Chain A
Amino acid sequence: MERDKKKKRKTFTRRDFIKGISGGALSAAVVPEFLPKDLHALPSKQGKILLYSKKQITLTVNEKNYSFEVESRETLLHVIRERLNLTGTKKTCARGECGGCTVLLEGRPVYSCLFLAVRADRKRVTTIEGLATKGKLHPVQQAFINKDAYQCGFCTPGIIMSSVALLNKNKIPEIEEIKEALSGNLCRCGNYFKIYEAVSAASRSMRRS
C-alpha cells in the first residue's frame, strides 16, 4: 500500500472517504426512502443509524468486464472472492499485514483487503486465476512447482502475484531485490528460501523465451 500512496491521487483516499461517510451518516437519523429495505443498519453510540451507501462500478477482471453495485465499505477482495467467486485470492489477515490477498491493479501489486471496491472502478485487475494463458502456466507458476516453492499453498497466490509484478518491471532481479519485492508477503510455513530460487528460475526462463 505504501507504493500506492506515492502515486498521484486520482479520485479520493480511503481516509477522505471514511471521513465523508461517517460525518454524513451520523447526522442521518432516518433511512431515506430511496435506499433498499434490507440496508445494513446499526445503532451507533449516539443512537443514530450508520448507513452504507451503494455505488455502481465497472471492473475488468482477468480480461472480463463486470458491473456491480457495491457497498461503500466493500473491499476489492470481497468483490473478487464473494461476487466473482475467484477464491484463489485469500483473506489471511484482512488488514494489510500479510499480502495473502495481493492482486495486480493496472499491473501493480495491491493488497485487495484494504482496497475499497469503489476505488477500483474502471480499473483492470488480474488475479491468480488470470495468470495462465490458454492452459499454459505463467513461468513463475511453473517455477514454483519445479522448486517446490510452497508448502500449504495458502500464501502462494499472493506471493506469485508479487513475483509477477516484480518480473514485469525488473527482468533480472538481484536476490536482494526479490527479497524486497516479497517483503510484504508473509509465508508462515517459511518457504522463502525456495521462493527466491523459484523467482530467479522464472526470471531466467522468461528471458530465454
Chain B
Amino acid sequence: MKKKELEPEIEDLNLLYYEEFKDKETEEPEVLPTPEGEEFKIIGKSTPRIDGKRIVTGNAPFTHDIKLRGMLQGKILRCPHACAEVGSVDLSQARNLPGVHAVIQLQKGQVKYAGEQVAAVAAVDENSADDALKLIKVVYKPLPFAVTEEKAREEGAPRVHKSANVQKFNEYNRGDIEMGFKKADVVLENTYKTAVEIHHTAETHGSLAKWEGDRLTIWDSTQAIFNVRDSLARELQIPASKIKVIKTYMGGGFGSKLGLNDYTIVAALLAKEAKKPVKIILSRKENSLCVGNRPSSLQTIKGGVKKDGTIMALYLKNYTCGGIGRGDRCSEPLIDIYKCPNVKVEEFTIFTNTGASRPTRAPGHVQGTFALEGFLDELANEIGMDPLELRMKNYAQKNLGDTGIPYSSKGLDECYQMGAKKIGWKNRNKKPGKGNGKIRKGLGMASQIWWGVGRPGTLADIKLHRDGSVEVVSGTQDLGTGTRTYMATVAAETLGLRPEDITVKIGETVYPWCGSSGGSTTTPSIAPAVRDAALKAADYLKNRAARELDINADDVILGNKKLFDKNNPAHSISFKDLFREFRREQVFHGEYTGRPSGFAYNTFGAHFAEVEVDTESGQIKVLNVVAVHEVGRVINKLTAESQVVGGITQGVSTALFEERVMDNTTGTVTNPNLRDYKIATSFDIPKIVTLFVDMIDPRINILGCKGIGEPPRIPIAAAVANAVYNAVGVHIREIPMTPDKVLRALKRKEVT
C-alpha cells in the first residue's frame, strides 16, 4: 500500500484504499489456481442466509446493541465553526455533573471544518452525556473559511491547508491527443457535474472500548477489523498483540467504515480514564459531518470520433472535492474501458472546510462513469449512431483501451446482448427527444468496469470437531452481503454437507487474517481460501475413510454427513463415527495465494434503464432497469441479486436525489439529516431484472469468482441520464437530476 502524500497533514483515505482495491501485479503463487469446471450442487444456486433467523427476529447483535456491565456512554463535542482557533476549553462544570465519569479535551489549535472533535465525555447514560457536553465551555476564534468548491477556487480564498486549495493529483498520457483530435471527424466537449454524497449507513458509526489491564477489546461497526487493530496500536502506542477488535453485525458501511475512526480512539481514551467500558455511537447529524462522503466532481470531457464510430481521442479534466481530504480519481473508466489510442487526463483536487472524503461504493467510478457514458451518448448522437453500437465498435480485449494486457475474462459483450434483448432496445427513440406530449419515455444504457479481485494472503480455517460438527473460521467481515452464508456454501459444497450444517465464525482479530471488506474484494478473497481449506479437509477425510472402509481414497465420496464408496453407496461411515476416532479436533488451513500475472482482472456489466419524464414538472421516474453483470462464477445467486438490487437503488438515489448542501455563510451542512438529505424510498424504485453472464474466470482463483459489491453501483446513474436524454432530447449533465435542472435543460433545448 503506497501512500502518495500531497501534504502530510491531509487525511488521504481515498488514495490509500483506491490503491488497495485496484488490481495490482502481484507475486505469482507457486501453484497457479485452476478453477474446476465441475458442476456444483450448491455453489451458484440460491441459498437463503444461514443467519436469516437471527436477523428477522431482532437477535443479530449490532455494535449499537452490545452492552457490558458498568458501561458508560461517550459523546463528543464538535466545533460549530468551519474554521476556528480553539482557545480556552473549560471542562470543570461538565466534570462536576452527577453521572459523569470522564471528560477529556481532544483538540488544541485549529479546527478545519464544522464537526471536528474538540472534547469528549463519558457518563452513565446518553442524556447525562448530552447534558455534560452542554456544560463544556469553549472559546473559539472563528477564522475565514471556504466550504464550497466555487469559493475555494476563488483567487485569495482562505486556505484550507497550508498549501494551495487546488492541486493536481493525477495525470495520464497515452498516444498523441492533439493528433487524435486532428484525425477525428467530429470533436465534442461537454462538462459534467456530480454532487457530494453522504454514505448515511443505517447503523451510524460507533465503537465500544473495554480495558482489562493493558489489554484492549474494541467492538466496532467496521469493514476492516485488522486495519482498526493495527492503526489503533499505532495511535495508542501499544502492541497490536494487546488489542482485540470484534465486529459482530454491522448496519452498512459502503466504504465509510474502512479504517480507524477518531471516535474509536476517543472511546479507548475515555474508557482508560473512567476505568469502565465506554461506548460511543454517533448521531445521524454527526454521520453527515465527519465520517466521510463521496467527493464531488466537475469533469470536462473532450472527445474525437470518426464517422464510423472509431473513438480517436479522449481528454478529461476533472476538478474534484473531498473536503479537507482528497477528491476521487474519476478517470479510470475513461482510461480503461473503450478502445482509444490517444488519452490525456488531468485531475485536480479542491480543498474546502468540510469533512474529509472517504471511499464510497465504487469511488471515482460512479462519477467518472456518469460523465464518460453520458458523453458517449452525446457523441453517438452527433454521428447518428446507435449508442450501443458505438460501444461495441470500440470494444477492447485488452486493458488501457486495448493498449495494455489482455483481460483474463470479459463478458461485457454478452451483457450488452442480454440486456438489449430484455429491455427491448430496438424500441427506443431512434432520435433522442422524438415525440411530444407532457410525459416522454426513453431508454438508455451504460457500461461498467471495476476491479473486484481477491487479496493474496487471505486465510480461512476449517475445523472438524470430534463430535462431527464442522466450523469455518476467518477474520473477515459480513457487511450485510451474506459473507457468512457463502463461506458455509463453499465449505458445504466441498464436504458434502448443507450450508446450515456449518458453523461460521468471522469478525474477530483472533481469527485467521483477512483484509478489509471493501472494493468488491471479499468474495474473491475468502471463497477460494475456504475452498482451499475444505479441499484439504476433504482429502484428509477421504484417506481416513478409505482405511476404515478398506477401499481406495479415490473411490470415497462425501455426502449427507457421510463418507461412502462410490461403487457401493451402502458401504459408508458417518462423519460422527469417523471424527470420533480423531486424537484431537482437526484444523485445515486454507489460503488464497494469488493469480498469474500478465492478465488484467476486472468485472464488467451493463445497465439498461427505461424512464418517464414529466416535461411540465421536471420529474423523472425510473420505470424499469435491466442489469447484466459478468463477475465470473456466482457463489450465491440470491445474495448476489440483492447486491445488484441495492446498487441500482442507491444509484437511482444518486441520479435523482442525493446532494449534501453547504452553506457559505455559516459554513455548515444545511441538510445533516434524512429529511432534508433525500435518499430513495419505496416509492422511487423501478422494476429491476437482474441477470448474470454464465462465465468462469479461468485463472483468477480456484473458484473462478470475482466481486459484485461495487459493479451494480457504477453504471446506473449514467444509464438513467442517457434514458432521460433519449426521452427529451437534451442531456442533463448534472446529478442529482432534480426537477429544476430538468426544466432548465429543457429550456436550453428550446433556445437552440
Contacts and interface: CB of A to CB of B under 8 A. Distances in A.
Interface of A: 37-43, 71, 73, 81-82, 85-95, 97-98, 100, 127-129, 131-132, 137, 141-142, 144-146, 148, 150-157, 160, 178-180, 182-183, 185-196
Interface stretch (B125-133, B306-314, B732-740): B125-133
B648 A190 contact: yes
Interface stretch (B339-347, B433-441, B635-643): B635-643
Interface in B50-66: 52-53, 55-62, 64-65
Given A97-B675, A148-B639, A152-B251, A187 B202 contact: yes
Given A73-B127, A92-B202, A151-B481, A192 B56 contact: no
Contacts of B252: 151-152, 154, 188-189
A189 B682 contact: no
Contact of A42 (B53, B135, B643, B647): B135
A144 B685 contact: no
Given A87-B64, A190-B645, A195-B682, A153 B55 contact: yes
A187 B649 CA distance: 10
A20 to B, nearest CB: 19
Contacts of B99: 38
B49 A152 contact: no
B646 A128 contact: no
A86 B680 CA distance: 29
B597 interface: no
Given A92-B204, A97-B674, A142-B56, 17 more contacts: A85-B67, A87-B62, A87-B64, A88-B59, A95-B675, A98-B202, A98-B674, A153-B249, A153-B480, A154-B252, A156-B55, A179-B683, A180-B682, A186-B681, A187-B202, A189-B480, A190-B650
A1 to B, nearest CB: 12
Interface residues of B, number: 65
A190 B127 contact: no
B284 A93 contact: yes
Contacts of B201: 152, 188
B58 A144 contact: no
A69 B202 CA distance: 31
B53 A145 contact: yes
A81 B73 CA distance: 14
B500 to A, nearest CB: 12
Contact of B649 (A82, A153, A192): A192
A127 B639 contact: no
A95 to B, nearest CB: 6
Given A95-B284, A189-B202, A145 B682 contact: no
Contacts of A180: 682-683
B639 A129 contact: no
Nearest to A90: B64
Contact of B682 (A42, A97, A192): A192
Interface string B674-697: 110001111101011000000000
Contacts of A145: 48-49, 52-53, 55-56
A94 B283 contact: yes
B682 A137 contact: no
B479 A152 contact: yes
A156 B281 CA distance: 20
Nearest to A39: B98
Contact of B480 (A89, A141, A152, A195): A152
Nearest to B127: A40
B649 A152 contact: no
B125 A82 contact: yes
A150 B480 contact: yes
A192 B685 contact: yes
Contact of B62 (A41, A154, A182): A154
B673 interface: yes
A122 B564 CA distance: 62
Nearest to B252: A152
A129 B56 CA distance: 9
B134 interface: yes
Interface string B644-656: 0111111001000
6 contacts: A87-B65, A91-B64, A129-B58, A146-B48, A148-B638, A194-B641
A2 to B, nearest CB: 13
B526 interface: no
The 8 A-B pairs with the shortest beta carbon distances in the complex, nearest first, are: A88-B58, A190-B649, A152-B480, A154-B251, A145-B52, A128-B58, A87-B65, A153-B55
B706 interface: no
Nearest to A153: B55
A129 B64 contact: no
Contacts of A185: 682
A131 B57 contact: yes
Contacts of B641: 148, 194
